[in-house]
Amino acid sequence: MKRIVIVGGGYAGVLTAKKLAKKFKKDPSTSVTLIDKNPFHTMLTELHEVAAGRVEEDNIRISFQKIFAGRRVHFVQDFVEAVDRQEKKVLGRNGTYDYDYLVMAAGSRPAYFSIPGAEEYSLPLWSYEDAVRLREHILDCFRRAAAATNQQERSRLLTFHIVGAGLTGVEMAGELAEYVPVLCERFEIDRAEVSIRNVDLVARPVPTLPEKLSAKIQRRLEKMGVQMLLNTRVVAVGADYIDLKVADQVHRQATGTVIWVAGIEAAQVTQKVGTTVTSGERGRLVTDQYLRSSDDESLFVAGDNIHYIPAGASEAVPRMVENCEQSAALIAHNIYVSVTGQGRLKAYKPTFHGVMVSLGGRYGVARVGWPGFMVNLPSFLAMFTKHFINIVYFAQVLGWNKIFSYLKHEFFTIRHQRSFVGGHLSNRTPSFLLVPLRLWLGGVWLFEGIMKIVGGWLRSPQLTGFFGGANAWYASLLGKAVDGVNTATKAAAADAVTAASVMAAPVADALTAATEAVAPVADAVAAATGVAAPVADAVAAATGALPEAMASAGTVLLNWDIFGVIKMLFVSGKPVLESTIADYAFKLDIPLLNWFINNYVLPYDWVQMLMQTFVVAAEILIGLALIGGLLTTPATALSLALLFMFTSTTGLYLSSFWMIFAAIALLWGAGSIFGLDYYVTPLLKKGWKRLGWVRRLYIYHD
CATH numbers and ranges of domains, the chain: 2-109+266-340 (3.50.50.100), 118-262 (3.50.50.100), 435-671 (no CATH)
Stated as kind and residue range, the H or E segment containing 118 is helix 118-121
Is 666:438 a contact under the CB 8 Å cutoff? yes
Average pLDDT over residues 609-631: 95
Please name every residue paired with 176 in a beta bridge, in sequence order, or none if there are none: none
Closest CA to 101 of 14, 28, 20: 20
Q: How would residue 90 be classed by pLDDT, with cut points 50, 70 and 90?
A: very high
pTM: 0.77
Between the CA atoms of 656, 661, 663 and 668, what dihedral angle is there, to the nearest 10 degrees?
Answer: 180
- Which of the given ranges, 13-22, 388-397, 523-532, 562-571, has the highest pLDDT on average? 13-22
- How much is the pLDDT for 469? 82
Residue 336 has a CB neighbour count (10 Å cut-off) of 20
**pLDDT tens digits for range 293-319:** 999 999 999 999 999 999 888 899 999
Residue 458 has a CB neighbour count (10 Å cut-off) of 14
Q: How would residue 86 be classed by pLDDT, with cut points 50, 70 and 90?
A: very high
Between the CA atoms of 585, 591, 596 and 599, what dihedral angle is there, to the nearest 10 degrees?
Answer: 100
> Has residue 677 got a pLDDT over 60?
yes
Q: How would residue 480 be classed by pLDDT, with cut points 50, 70 and 90?
A: low
- How much is the pLDDT for 553? 52
Q: How would residue 695 be classed by pLDDT, with cut points 50, 70 and 90?
A: confident
Distance CA 117, CA 571 (A): 76
Is 13:34 a contact under the CB 8 Å cutoff? yes
**pLDDT tens digits for range 43-64:** 999 999 999 999 999 889 999 9
Distance CA 11, CA 325 (A): 7
The alpha carbon of residue 28 and the mean position of all alpha carbons in its chain are separated, in whole angstroms, by 35
SS3 165: coil
HSE-up of 654 (CA within 13 Å, CB side)?
12
Average pLDDT over residues 340-369: 94
Closest CA to 268 of 87, 129, 126, 100: 126
Buried b (16+ CB within 10 A) or exposed e, 366-395: bbbeeeeeeebbebebbbbbbbebbeebbe
Average pLDDT over residues 634-658: 93
